[in-house]
Amino acid sequence: MRIRSVQPRKQRAYVYNAPLHTRQKLVHAALDKKLRKEYGRRSLALRKGDKVEVMRGSFAGVRGEIKEVDLKDLRVTVDGVKRKKADGTEVQVRMHPSNLRIIEALVDDKKRARIIERSGGKVTLTKKKTEKEAKAAHTEGVKCPLCSETFENNAAANVHVTEKHKEYAQQQ
């Protein structure tokens, strides 16, 4: 993205009228020093789920998770950044991306991993489980195919099968 004019009014007009695919480039934030070395880049686009630190303003030093990225208004909602209104209710304060620094990037898809690897960084894909998936995995567990006893994980179920059902384990 390159703004050709040096006139501030034309620069502002370009940002206000920019299409969404261009606005995505405007919601980048600087990376933490540790992440800069790891990823081999200076900044990264903000996404829901990234952990950031507020660098400027009255909320400087506050750390939180990104809850929403608004491309239309070029603002980001960070968990834990709230202000009290005159009537006592709390509202989320929407921050400009330039005031944020990414301290932990959520790398859960191949597209973002490719972006990082393109600049020479190394990344391992991590998928963040939703609350529903975490509850389902925790409550259901793994069932033994022979006696229907439930276990927390596959390793515990395999140990059970090899110890309790020796004939079945030897056949396989």
pLDDT tens digits along 109-118: 888 888 888 8
Residue with the two structure tokens 């529903």 = 132
- Cβ-based neighbours of 15, under 8 Å, separated by 6 or more: 26, 74
Task: Please tell me the distance from the alpha carbon of residue 70 to that of residue 54, in angstroms, as a whole number.
Answer: 17
| pTM recorded for the entire structure | 0.68
With a cut of 50, list the residues of the chain below it in pLDDT.
none
Q: Which residues of 46-73 are buried (b: 16+ CB within 10 A; e: fewer)?
A: bbeebbbbbbeeebeebebebeebeeee
User: Contact, 47 vs 104, CB < 8 A?
Assistant: no
Residue 106: which of 51, 146, 153, 69 has the closest Cα? 51
pLDDT for position 132: 64
Burial class (CB in 10 A: 0-12, 13-18, 19+), 165: middle
pLDDT for position 139: 56
| Alpha helices (runs of H) in the chain, residue ranges in sequence order | 8-16, 20-26, 33-39, 110-118, 131-140, 154-164, 166-171
Both tokens of residue 1?
Answer: 């993205």
Q: Work out whether the CA dihedral 71, 29, 111, 107 comes out positive or negative.
A: negative
Task: Please tell me the distance from the alpha carbon of residue 156 to that of residue 150, in angstroms, as a whole number.
Answer: 9
Please give the CATH topology (third level) of the domain spanning 8-123.
SH3 type barrels. (2.30.30)
What are the pLDDT digits (tens) for 41-59?
A: 999 999 999 999 999 999 9
